[in-house]
Amino acid sequence: MTEKTKLINPRLPRGFEDRTPGDIAAVGQMIETIRKVYERYGFDPVETPLFEFTETLGKFLPDTDRPNAGVFSLQDDDEQWMSLRYDLTAPLARYFAENFETLPKPYRSYRQGYVFRNEKPGPGRFRQFMQFDADTVGAPGAEADAEMCMMMADVMDALGLGGKYVVRVNNRKVLDGVLEAAGVTSDEQKLSVLRAVDKLDKFGPEGVKLLLGAGRKDESGDFTKGAGLDDAQAAVVLDYVAGKPPADNEGVAELNTMQALFDAAGYGPEKIKIDPSVVRGLEYYTGPVFEIELTFKVQNEKGQDVVFGSVGGGGRYDGLVSRFRREPVPATGFSIGVSRLANALKLTGNLGSKEPVGPVVVLVMDKDQTARYQAMVSELRKAGIRAEMFLGSTKNFGKQVSYADKRNAPAVIIEGSQEREQGILQIKDLVAGKEAAEGITDNAEWKASRPGQFEIKREDLVSAIQKLLSE
């Protein structure tokens, strides 16, 4: 007796997700809206591959035999390490450097696609997710950074989020000046100070003060170790948090330039505002930094009201392309987290959630007449109408209609022997049928009335379906 083959358990790896037609259609509509704004600003699309040489990605250069800390990597047959991209910026830097001689400068581009993080997954934290970026490479002035912020605001407005967001702007040069004035020199302590400043919105000035010193204990008793600054050092940082930037700082001058551009273009503080608490990256960013924060309230996993928070951000990264070329190459850009933004749009009712309209389904009433049914399908397709012939094994009329219903079909086409003899077709409008059936309680009445069903001549098939779809 042969041993039964062991069945494979159909399961999805943690940190990944399947997407339904409804999800794809809704996100596709959102992406198209963003794309139109990017192109209105003069940005062009470019696409880079999912894999890059690991050394190209830079941030996760391998210290071990297998470079898998944070990225998914494999070794090619020539023993070179390649990794799935963890963002869309490092591949852009490689692309620009490789095509430096032929590309216009500044080079303005946008990219949309999946990125991968080999990290522990959790609620809302995926190993594969989509980003939508725009970058200007080769423009050194704060004007390019200001334009990025204005474009981010225009994207939010185009998506129907006006009044529910703010683009918050700061400058790493200002932060670096504060750290220098406070006598903070080690990278570890710098990181602790920046993390403390980043918590201003969450914990307020008193909470930041604790995190700059010995540390802070929250309501649950959990203790977060502080940066270890003395009172004099902490005072310098707290003055900055209170809105007193260091004098004669290049970053302050750049922020003033950006503010003048925002004012001239009509972007008030309800859309874009200078905010000293914005902190992005310890070494990656070299100048202005910005992020889009959605300001409406949602409930967290504990049932508490919290601000939705950031759905994207970016800044100036003048050192990234210079890893490939000896001359300095200025660059600025931002990235939108597509999945997180889609979730926000869903919560605010600005993301379409309906399943896309399915195909018109031609039912197979007589198996020996499939050529006739296929001819109907071909006529509809040639007229640009989505259509299919039922290809299942059942002859049951109800199950075929049920199939069409699950496909979200707008209508089914019925031709049995009687209809064929008379040269007619029955069209069942599934949308109208559902609406009419809601008022019918008796089964016999439903069968007699056949809600949403009407009769046409065979030669009128295409025009009748076109009329039904237009209505």
Segment 312-343, tens digit of pLDDT: 999 999 988 888 988 889 999 999 999 889 98
Q: How many residues does the chain have?
A: 471
pLDDT at residue 251 tops 80 = yes
Q: Which of 117-131, 161-175, 285-299 has the lowest mean pLDDT?
A: 117-131
Please answer whether residues 42 and 108 qualify as being in contact, where contact means their C-beta atoms are separated by less than 8 angstroms.
Answer: yes
78 — phi, psi (to 5°)?
A: -100, 20
Bridge-based pairing state of the strands 44-45 and 107-116: parallel
Burial 440-451 (b: 16+ CB within 10 A, else e): eeeeeeeeeeeb
Looking at residue 63, its pLDDT comes to 43
pLDDT at residue 353 tops 70 = no
The structural domains of the chain, with segments of one domain joined by +, span: 11-140+318-356, 360-470
Is pLDDT larger for residue 340 or for residue 265?
265
Most confident of 62-66, 197-201, 239-243, 466-470: 466-470
Is pLDDT larger for residue 187 or for residue 89?
89
Looking at residue 433, its pLDDT comes to 61
State pLDDT tens for residues 372-407.
999 999 999 999 999 999 999 878 899 999 999 999
Look at domain 11-140+318-356 and name its CATH class: alpha beta
Looking at residue 300, its pLDDT comes to 62
Looking at residue 434, its pLDDT comes to 66
How would CATH label the architecture of 360-470? 3-Layer(aba) Sandwich (3.40)
Q: Which of 84-93, 169-178, 431-440, 462-471 has the lowest mean pLDDT?
A: 431-440
Q: The tokens 């006006």 sit on which residue?
A: 162
Looking at residue 62, its pLDDT comes to 40
pTM over 0.85: no
Looking at residue 230, its pLDDT comes to 85
Looking at residue 120, its pLDDT comes to 81
Query: Any idea of the CA torsion for 426, 428, 432, 436, to the nearest 10 degrees?
Result: 80
Looking at residue 246, its pLDDT comes to 74
Looking at residue 423, its pLDDT comes to 96
Three-class HEC string of 132-182: EEEEEECCCCHHHHHHHHHHHHHHHHHCCCCCCEEEEEEEHHHHHHHHHHC
State pLDDT tens for residues 20-54.
888 888 899 999 999 999 999 999 999 999 999 98
pLDDT at residue 436 tops 60 = no
Mean pLDDT of 124-130: 86
Looking at residue 461, its pLDDT comes to 96
Bridge-based pairing state of the strands 360-362 and 387-389: parallel
State pLDDT tens for residues 93-115.
999 999 999 999 999 999 999 99
The alpha carbon dihedral of 150, 155, 158, 163 has a sign of negative
Q: Which of 48-62, 158-172, 443-457 has the lowest mean pLDDT?
A: 443-457
Please answer whether residues 189 and 269 qualify as being in contact, where contact means their C-beta atoms are separated by less than 8 angstroms.
Answer: no
No. of helices (H) and no. of strands (E), the chain: 16, 18
Helix (H, G, I), strand (E, B) or coil at 450: coil
11-140+318-356 against 360-470: fold identical? no
